[in-house]
Amino acid sequence: MNPFTYSHATAVDDAVRDKASHHDAAYIGGGTNLLDLMKENVERPTHLIGLNRLPLTKIQNDPEGGLRLGALATNADTAWHPEVEKRYPLLSQAILAGASPQLRNMATNGGNLMQRTRCYYFYDTATPCNKREPGSGCSAIGGYNRIHAILGTSQSCIATHPSDMCIALAALEAVVRVSGPNGERTIEFADFHRLPGNAPHIDNTLRPGELITGLDLPAKGFEKNYSYLKLRDRTSYAFALVSVAAALELEGNTIKDARIALGGVAHKPWRDTDVEDALKGQPATADTFRKAATQLLQGARGFGSNDFKVELAKRAIVRALKQATEMKQGPTEAFLNSNP
């Protein structure tokens, strides 16, 4: 870890100005990921701007009937917030599938979006990694890649985005509010994270100095039919091998609207709106779900140790959609959701 200076920001503008005035500055909220990365010498900011005094911790209704989540509300406060539990239970479930209670108590909503990949090679400075050191090469390709991506990969990176919360946010089509040197703007969730392409060191579409101030959840919460299914190597406190945020709007047994977002399979929460559109008007049956799953994974490819993810993702999609349809917790789900 390198020496760094530290300042508290008390207003969003101050934070943004402070960032602009330093060369290698970083914002810090809960610090649950940044601190690790600094200890591993993956990130070496020379100045940290503490955000926890900013007035961005509120969770409140917005005029359009949605819900606004403050960027500094903790993951725990968000997951257990009565409005979130009632109107966006998919989001609650996804948050609670991630990390541990201690981490969720520290981690903030804005920070959750900023999590970096858990690729072994990214974390180990002894090995080449294009995301950490552009141009040095990708060690995961041809290496041990059990936890790596199967969709949207590039020749320079097969890392995955590690968040659970973001998978639900993608499914719910949240909007990210940011503040920067040039004022405020909003980013559609689908546009926030990016695919690696030939610039895997860039995780998202934030412009230099921009700060996440909040997340807007649209009015539609799919609170009647939803499921967050997370598959991993132990029952809690492990990143997803594959996760699925599934949300359905049903009329009888007919699908009126559907959202499917995948975690653990790509550099960003993975959605395919064509597949979702194709589900509209279809009966909510295993057959329909299987077709959707196959279609969603059409371009998927494994890299050796993660080959199994292609099939696992298909099965997980089918199961998640089934759970969303039936809204009954079977024995498996009792185990998988025994987390909080």
Partner 1 sequence: MSQYTNYIGKPTNRVDGPAKVTGAAKYAAEFNVPNLAYGVVVSSPIAKGKIIKVYSKPVLKIPGVLAVFSHENVPNLAWFDRNYKDDVAPGGSPFRPLHDNEVKFSQQPIALVVADTFEVARYAASILEIEYEEEDHETDIELKRTEGFMPGRGKSGWMPPPPPRGKPDKEWKKAAHRIEHEYIHGAQHHNPMEMFATTTEYHPDGSITAYDKTQGVYNAQQYISKIFGLSKKQARVVTEYMGGGFGSGLRPQYQLFMSVMAALELKRSVRVTLTRQQMFSFGHRPYTLQYVKLGTNPDGTLAALQHHALHETSRFEEYTENVVNWSGMLYQCDNVKLGYQLAELDVYTPLDMRAPGAATGSIALEIAMDEMAFEAGLDPVDFRIRNYAETDQNMKKPFSSKRLRDCYHQGAAKFGWEKRNPRPRSMRDGNMLVGWGMAGGVWDATQKKSAAKATLTADGRLEVSSATSDIGTGTYTIMTQIAAQYLGLPIEAVTFKLGDTDLPEAPLEGGSWTAASVGTAVKNVCEEMGKKLLKQAQKMKGSPLKKAKFDDVEFVNGQIRLRLDPDQAVVIRDVLQASGKEKLEAETSATPNMLKQMQHSMHSHNAVFAEVKVDEDLGTVHVTRVVNAVAAGRILNLKTARSQVLGSIVWGISMALMEETIMDHKFGRYMNHNYAEYHIPVNADVRDLQVLFVEEEDEVVNPLGVKGIGEIGLLGVAAAIANAVFHATGKRVRTLPVMIDKLL
Task: Find the shortest distance in angstroms from Cβ 123 to partner 1.
Answer: 7
Measured CA to CA, the distance from residue 295 to residue 321 in angstroms comes to 14
Is 60 near partner 1 (CB under 8 A)?
Answer: no
Residue with smaller CB distance to partner 1, 213 or 243 = 243
Q: Max Cα separation, the chain?
A: 61
Which region, judged by CB under 8 A, interacts with partner 1, from 17-25, 55-63, 116-124, 167-175? 116-124
Is 27 near partner 1 (CB under 8 A)?
Answer: no
Taking a C-beta distance cutoff of 8 angstroms, is the pair 229, 217 a contact? Answer: no
* 161, 177, 268, 319: which one binds partner 1 (CB under 8 A): 319
Is 289 near partner 1 (CB under 8 A)?
Answer: no
Is 326 near partner 1 (CB under 8 A)?
Answer: no
Residue with smaller CB distance to partner 1, 39 or 86 = 39
Element containing residue 95 per DSSP (H, E): helix 89-96
Task: Give CA separation, 91 vs 26, 169, 172, in Å.
Answer: 27, 7, 8
Which region, judged by CB under 8 A, interacts with partner 1, from 18-26, 83-91, 122-130, 168-176? 122-130
Task: Find the shortest distance in angstroms from Cβ 330 to partner 1.
Answer: 5
Task: Find the shortest distance in angstroms from Cβ 197 to partner 1.
Answer: 24
Mention every residue, 6+ apart, whose C-beta is less than 8 A from residue 325: 225, 248, 250, 253, 284
Cβ count near 190 (within 10 Å): 14
Stretch 299-318 residues interacting with partner 1 (CB under 8 A): 308, 311-312, 315-316
Mention every residue, 6+ apart, whose C-beta is less than 8 A from residue 150: 265, 266, 297, 300, 301, 302, 303, 306, 309, 310, 313
Measured CA to CA, the distance from residue 104 to residue 112 in angstroms comes to 10
Residues that bind partner 1 (CB under 8 A): 1-3, 40-41, 118, 120-121, 123-127, 139, 142-144, 146-147, 231, 233-239, 241, 308, 311-312, 315-316, 319, 330-332, 335-336, 338-339
